[in-house]
């Protein structure tokens, strides 16, 4: 069963192979890529390798459609970043752009054909109130008015409740950490801010150093529980790492940085997936196993999570694995005495309370 | 192979496994066991090319939802791959739901094309685009023109090819609502109209079978020459007024499925389309008068 995702993975790592796919192969690959959110990326890769004429016309049209969407989104993101710069420059603090928006701002290959649903920024925690009020002045407002949700985000999470711009309806996530306050792993956002680089042409927008960008991407993959995006996030990581993989000191610098930020675990799990699925040559010494039994269990769970976007790719027991990953992502976020009441409250809110509201 | 070459039993069997259907540039893989959908396809898509293709643009399925509503006040749902964009509907709306679902597939994904919410027909090599506000009588007019020798390109979605700016046909059934169903029956007693779905969110809906010639020529693109903004007005004598191109631009762009998504390309394509077109507003009450007006328009 799992074999049927091989063509998609092959296309993501060896784009030239797309030229020899048969229409029947494409019939599966296009659907898988669409479900995984990487159809636009295939479009970008096909264009970069000049394959447009070599693909069946309807296939190229499908790839081109999502590529167009992603390119238009990138234009919108650049515009939004200019507005953010204008709204926050007066605070005189560095504002880090993370993930998709950072890839776009840096013209990284990881931005090619990539969809995103929001813009993520990171500021030092002491500045959070100032940033929030400056954003409110600029037209962004909090979308979560429920007192419980507000407390969930403000006390326990690593971000403010998502904000939305009143006019443009763009969503903004304001982080003060890479991981929740309550998470088991404690990382060092101050060091990530200290190593960041000013984005040319802006007054206060910074992008993470390339190693931190990789580590954050790996952390996000392992901790956010957004399994529908797992393969896309892995493909981002591949595009961030592959051009550097031959540099002699790259892997050592990456491993050192991971240990400085206390992110060895997420890096390990992400690299195992990149090695096994994307055939990335990861040196063995970078992959020092945290705990052999745990590592095997995690790998089994993670593999199912990454392929959860499409039924053909599911190995057995995906439902259980997805649930286990969901529990794990929450378990890593919060200790049990916070997590259990939280899940119970959410259950009550989504079932009983929403029925009452409807009635 | 055309759909009407399949016997009823063969069609049921094929659709249960999944059958390929070509509409304009798109190939749908349709899977269903719902009798209302099978009969709707059999009646309204009989001239369409069907078969087992290698590549499909969209894989869709109409089936009962999981759970009690399979039996109790039965419902049906539409899926593209594993995604279901709509709430389940009563089972007797199944064919209408397939039509809406197919529209949703194109409107949400086919961004190779600029897609306007407008009807489009062709005669003498000239395509006429009919943008219409809801209630303006666009579909009634489209059905009447299709039944009067015009080639039906599309009722809901006007596709403009980004490579050459030409209009790409779909030739799918025309969706008639409420009073227009009887108006078209009276206008053309020979018209083939499918089973009506009552009490939908659009009222009563029934679909008109596209003319055989429109279906046979579905791969033939057309150049847009006219944009007519129709308005049916009870008792009005037919009159036309020039429609400012700037306003036509705003209307088309504002009623497009993906104008913003195409960015500068959407602007350029709309501008080029308008440069090639004459734009008028049309007010009328009698369909026969409207038919005469359109005949003269492309004479």
Mark whether B176 and B254 lie in a shared domain.
Answer: yes
- The answer to whether residue A216 scores a pLDDT higher than 90 is yes
ipTM of the complex: 0.93
Angle at A71 between CA A227 and CA A135, to 5 degrees: 75
Q: What is the pLDDT of residues B218-270, one digit of tens each?
A: 999 999 999 999 999 999 999 999 999 999 999 999 999 999 999 999 999 99
Residue B267 with chain A: CB contacts under 8 Å: none
Mark whether B20 and B118 lie in a shared domain.
Answer: no
Of A24, A35, A65, the CB nearest to B112: A65
- The answer to whether residue B98 scores a pLDDT higher than 60 is yes
pLDDT of A263 reads 92
- The answer to whether residue B36 scores a pLDDT higher than 70 is yes
Q: Residue B165's domain spans which residues? A: 113-297
Token couple for B108: 């949400």
Mark whether B242 and B99 lie in a shared domain.
Answer: no
Which of A107-116, A319-328, A337-346, B63-72 shows the highest mean pLDDT? A107-116
Mark whether B227 and B140 lie in a shared domain.
Answer: yes
Strands A95-98 and A205-207 come out as parallel
Q: What is the pLDDT of residues A78-87, one digit of tens each?
A: 999 999 999 9
Give the end of a domain, one of B109, B125, B145: B109
CB contact under 8 A, A35 and B82: yes
Residue B109 with chain A: CB contacts under 8 Å: 34, 62, 65-66
Which whole-number Å values give the CA distances from B210 to A19, A95, B23, B218, in the listed order? 37, 58, 11, 11
Mark whether B56 and B143 lie in a shared domain.
Answer: no
Mark whether B124 and B269 lie in a shared domain.
Answer: yes
Q: How confident is the model at residue A333 (pLDDT cuts 50, 70, 90)?
A: low
Lowest mean pLDDT among A139-143, B128-132, B150-154, B252-256: A139-143
B177 Cα to chain A: minimum distance (Å): 30
Q: How confident is the model at residue A307 (pLDDT cuts 50, 70, 90)?
A: confident
Question: Beta strands of chain B (E only): which ranges?
Answer: 19-23, 26-32, 50-51, 58-63, 75-80, 89-90, 113-123, 126-131, 151-154, 157-161, 167-168, 174-177, 197-200, 203-208, 223-232, 239-242, 278-284
- The answer to whether residue B186 scores a pLDDT higher than 60 is yes
Residue A72 with chain B: CB contacts under 8 Å: 260-263
pLDDT of A1 reads 34
In chain B, how many domains are there? 2
pLDDT of A92 reads 95
- The answer to whether residue A164 scores a pLDDT higher than 60 is yes
Mean pLDDT to the nearest integer, A27-55: 96
- B-facing residues of A in 1-60 (CB < 8 A) are 22-24, 26-27, 30-31, 34-35, 56, 58-59
Cα A226 from chain centroid? Answer: 8
Token couple for A4: 């049927």
Give the end of a domain, one of B53, B75, B109: B109
Residue B219 with chain A: CB contacts under 8 Å: none
* Cα A48 from Cα B45, distance rounded (Å): 40
Domains of chain A: 2-348 (3.30.460.40)
Give the end of a domain, one of B67, B89, B109: B109
Mark whether B136 and B254 lie in a shared domain.
Answer: yes
Mark whether B67 and B126 lie in a shared domain.
Answer: no
CB contact under 8 A, A64 and B111: yes
Q: What is the pLDDT of residues B101-138, one digit of tens each?
A: 999 999 999 999 999 999 999 999 999 999 977 778 89
- The answer to whether residue A250 scores a pLDDT higher than 90 is yes
pLDDT of A147 reads 72
Residue A30 with chain B: CB contacts under 8 Å: 55
Mark whether B93 and B119 lie in a shared domain.
Answer: no
Q: What residues does A207 pair with on adjacent strands? A: A197
Mark whether B99 and B147 lie in a shared domain.
Answer: no
Mark whether B224 and B127 lie in a shared domain.
Answer: yes
Of A23, A58, A71, the CB nearest to B25: A58
Of B57, B82, B263, the CB nearest to A58: B57
Mark whether B185 and B62 lie in a shared domain.
Answer: no
Chain A nearest-CA residue for B162? A61
Residue A61 with chain B: CB contacts under 8 Å: 25, 110, 112
Question: Beta strands of A138-190 (E only): which ranges?
Answer: 140-142, 163-165, 171-175
Mean pLDDT to the nearest integer, A315-325: 58
Of A24, A64, A71, the CB nearest to B112: A64
Q: How confident is the model at residue A312 (pLDDT cuts 50, 70, 90)?
A: low
- B-facing residues of A in 60-79 (CB < 8 A) are 61-62, 64-66, 68-69, 71-72, 75
A188 Cα to chain B: minimum distance (Å): 39
């Amino acid at each position: 069963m799992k074999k049927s995702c091989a063509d998609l993975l092959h296309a993501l790592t060896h784009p030239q192979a797309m030229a020899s796919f048969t229409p029947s192969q494409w019939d599966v690959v296009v659907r898988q890529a669409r479900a995984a959110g990487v159809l636009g990326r295939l479009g970008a890769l096909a264009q970069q390798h000049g394959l447009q004429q070599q693909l069946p016309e309807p296939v190229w049209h499908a790839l081109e459609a999502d590529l167009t969407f992603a390119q238009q989104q990138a234009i919108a993101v650049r515009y939004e970043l200019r507005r953010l710069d204008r709204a926050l420059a007066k605070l005189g603090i560095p504002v880090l752009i993370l993930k998709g928006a950072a890839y776009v701002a840096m013209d990284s290959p990881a931005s090619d054909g990539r969809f995103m649903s929001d813009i993520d920024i990171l500021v030092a925690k002491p500045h959070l109130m100032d940033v929030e009020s400056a954003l409110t002045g600029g037209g962004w407002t909090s979308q979560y008015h429920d007192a419980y949700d507000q407390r969930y985000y403000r006390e326990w999470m690593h971000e403010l409740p998502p904000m939305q711009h009143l006019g443009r309806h763009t969503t903004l996530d304001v982080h003060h950490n890479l991981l929740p306050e309550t998470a088991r792993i404690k990382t060092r956002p101050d060091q990530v801010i200290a190593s960041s680089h000013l984005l040319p042409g802006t007054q206060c927008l910074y992008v993470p150093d390339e190693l931190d960008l990789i580590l954050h991407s790996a952390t996000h993959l392992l901790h956010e529980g957004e399994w529908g995006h797992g393969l896309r996030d892995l493909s981002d990581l591949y595009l961030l790492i592959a051009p550097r993989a031959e540099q002699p000191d790259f892997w050592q610098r990456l491993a050192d940085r991971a240990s400085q930020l206390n992110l060895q675990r997420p890096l390990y799990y992400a690299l195992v997936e990149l090695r096994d699925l994307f055939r990335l040559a990861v040196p063995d010494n970078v992959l020092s196993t945290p705990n052999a039994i745990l590592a095997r269990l995690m790998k089994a769970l993670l593999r199912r999570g990454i392929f959860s976007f499409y039924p053909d790719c599911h190995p057995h027991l995906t439902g259980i694995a997805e649930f286990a990953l969901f529990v794990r992502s929450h378990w890593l976020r919060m200790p049990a005495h916070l997590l259990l009441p939280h899940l119970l409250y959410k259950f009550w809110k989504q079932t009983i309370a929403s029925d009452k509201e409807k009635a | 192979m055309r759909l009407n070459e399949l016997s009823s039993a063969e069609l049921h069997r094929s659709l249960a496994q999944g059958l390929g259907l070509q509409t304009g540039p798109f190939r749908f893989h349709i899977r269903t066991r719902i009798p209302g959908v099978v009969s709707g396809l059999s009646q309204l898509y009989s001239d369409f090319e069907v078969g087992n293709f290698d590549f499909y643009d969209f894989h869709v399925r109409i089936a009962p939802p999981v759970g009690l509503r399979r039996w109790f006040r039965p419902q049906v749902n539409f899926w593209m791959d594993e995604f279901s964009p709509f709430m389940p509907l009563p089972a007797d709306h199944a064919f209408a739901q397939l039509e809406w679902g197919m529209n949703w597939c194109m409107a949400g994904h086919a961004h190779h094309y600029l897609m306007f919410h407008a009807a489009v027909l062709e005669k003498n090599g000239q395509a006429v685009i009919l943008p219409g506000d809801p209630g303006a009588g666009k579909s009634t007019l489209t059905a009447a023109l299709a039944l009067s020798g015009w080639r039906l390109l599309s009722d809901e979605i006007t596709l403009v090819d980004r490579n050459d700016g030409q209009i790409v046909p779909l030739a799918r059934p025309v969706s008639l609502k409420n009073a227009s169903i009887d108006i078209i029956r009276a206008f053309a007693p020979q018209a083939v109209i499918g089973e009506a779905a009552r009490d939908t969110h659009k009222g009563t809906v029934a679909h008109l079978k596209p003319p055989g010639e429109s279906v046979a020529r579905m791969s033939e693109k057309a150049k847009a020459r006219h944009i007519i903004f129709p308005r049916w007005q009870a008792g009005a004598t037919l009159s036309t007024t020039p429609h400012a191109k700037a306003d036509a631009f705003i209307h088309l762009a504002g009623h497009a499925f993906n104008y913003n998504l195409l960015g500068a390309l959407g602007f350029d394509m709309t501008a080029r389309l308008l440069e090639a077109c004459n734009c008028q507003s049309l007010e009328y009450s009698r369909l026969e008068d409207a038919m005469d007006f359109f005949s003269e328009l492309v004479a």
